[in-house]
C-alpha cells in the first residue's frame, strides 16, 4: 500500500543527478556530462517520487515540440519496488505527455507492462561494445562538425527525430569530453556523429549518414579520435542491417537491448540512415 507521505514533484537541474546516478547503478552507463543536455531539452521534464522526503522513484517525461514526448529514467529504488510507488510516478509522467505520441526505450522484460499503458513495439535497439582506437578514415571530407553553422547540422538532424530538439542538440554537440564530426558530399552535409565520455568508456551517438560507407568513415574517425583501448559503445536499430554489420565488422559484441515503443503511429524515421541512437534516455 502506498504511503500517504509519498509525493511526486519536478526535479531541479541538480536533482537530475539522482536519476543519472541510479541509471548508472542499473548498468545503463550514462554520459559524464549528460545532465546539462537533458535539462536543456525540457527543464520541467524530470520527476521524483519522495517518501517522507526521501527520493525513491524517478522518471523523465520530456516534451519535444507540440506533438512528441519521450519517457526515460523510470527507476524505483529496489527496496520500494512492487509497492505501488512506481506506477504512480509512471502515471504522472504519462499525464504530463498526454495527447502526444510518446516513445520509450524500455528493457525487454517490461514490454508487456508498457503495452498495458498503450505502447506498441516498433523495433529493437541493440547496444554493442567494442574498443576505442584504430585507424582514422582516409575520407578527406570528414570534418570537425563545429566548422558548420548549427542551422545546417540541425536541418540534417531534423529527419531523424520526431520532434523539435533544438535546445537539446545545441547542448549535446557542445558538451565537454566529446568529439563531433561531419562528413560532406558535393558541399553538403551527408552525415554526422559524436562520441562522448561515459561512466565506463565512451559512447558513439548519434551516428547518422546517407550511406553505410559514410557511416563507417565517421565511425572509424570517432573511435580513433579518443584514447585507445577503452570500452566503446554503439546503440543501433536492429532493423538497420547495415548498422548491425558495421558493429560486427569492428568486432563489437552485443551486450544489451531495448524495446523502442510508441503510443501512437510509429514515426517515419529513415532507419536505413540511422546507424547510432542519440540516447536511450531521451530518444
Look at residue 200 in the predicted model and tell me its pLDDT. 96
Q: For 101-125, what is the mean pLDDT?
A: 93
- On the question of pLDDT at 124 being above 90, the answer is yes
- Is 59 in a helix, a strand, or coil? strand
> Tell me: the pLDDT tens digits for 226-235?
999 999 999 9
Confidence band for 259, pLDDT divided at 50, 70 and 90: very high
Please give the distance of CA 72 from its chain centroid, rounded to a whole number: 9
The 8 Å CB, 24+ separation contacts for 113-121 are 114/259, 114/261, 115/261, 117/90, 117/263, 118/263, 119/261, 119/262, 119/263, 120/261, 120/262, 120/263, 120/266, 121/259, 121/260, 121/261
DSSP H or E stretch at residue 190 = strand 188-197
> Tell me: the pLDDT tens digits for 159-215?
999 999 999 999 999 999 999 999 999 999 999 999 999 999 999 999 999 999 999
d(Cα 209, Cα 81) in Å, to the nearest integer? 41
Amino acid at each position: 500500500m502506498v504511503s500517504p507521505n509519498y509525493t511526486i514533484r519536478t526535479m531541479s537541474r541538480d536533482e537530475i543527478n539522482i536519476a543519472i546516478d541510479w541509471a548508472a547503478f542499473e548498468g545503463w552507463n550514462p554520459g559524464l556530462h549528460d545532465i546539462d543536455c537533458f535539462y536543456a531539452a525540457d527543464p520541467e521534464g524530470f520527476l521524483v517520487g519522495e517518501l517522507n522526503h526521501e527520493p525513491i522513484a524517478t522518471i523523465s517525461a520530456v516534451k519535444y515540440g507540440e506533438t512528441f514526448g519521450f519517457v526515460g529514467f523510470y527507476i524505483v529504488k529496489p527496496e520500494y519496488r512492487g509497492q505501488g510507488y512506481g506506477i504512480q510516478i509512471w502515471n504522472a509522467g504519462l499525464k504530463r505527455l498526454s495527447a502526444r505520441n510518446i516513445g520509450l526505450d524500455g528493457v525487454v522484460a517490461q514490454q508487456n507492462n508498457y503495452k498495458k499503458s498503450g505502447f506498441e513495439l516498433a523495433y529493437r535497439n541493440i547496444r554493442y561494445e567494442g574498443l576505442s582506437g584504430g585507424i582514422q578514415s582516409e575520407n578527406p571530407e570528414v570534418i570537425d562538425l563545429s566548422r558548420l553553422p548549427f542551422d545546417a547540422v540541425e536541418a540534417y538532424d531534423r529527419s531523424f527525430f520526431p520532434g523539435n530538439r533544438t535546445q537539446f542538440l545545441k547542448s549535446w554537440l557542445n558538451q565537454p569530453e566529446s568529439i563531433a564530426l561531419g562528413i560532406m558530399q558535393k558541399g553538403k552535409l551527408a552525415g554526422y556523429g559524436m562520441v562522448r565520455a561515459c561512466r565506463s568508456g565512451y559512447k558513439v551517438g548519434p551516428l547518422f549518414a546517407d550511406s553505410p560507407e559514410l557511416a563507417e568513415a565517421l565511425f572509424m574517425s570517432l573511435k580513433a579520435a579518443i584514447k585507445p583501448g577503452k570500452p566503446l559503445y554503439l546503440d543501433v536499430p536492429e532493423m538497420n542491417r547495415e548498422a548491425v554489420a558495421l558493429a560486427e565488422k569492428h568486432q563489437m559484441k552485443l551486450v544489451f537491448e531495448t524495446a523502442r515503443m510508441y503510443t501512437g503511429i510509429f514515426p517515419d524515421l529513415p532507419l536505413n540512415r540511422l546507424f547510432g541512437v542519440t540516447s536511450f534516455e531521451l530518444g
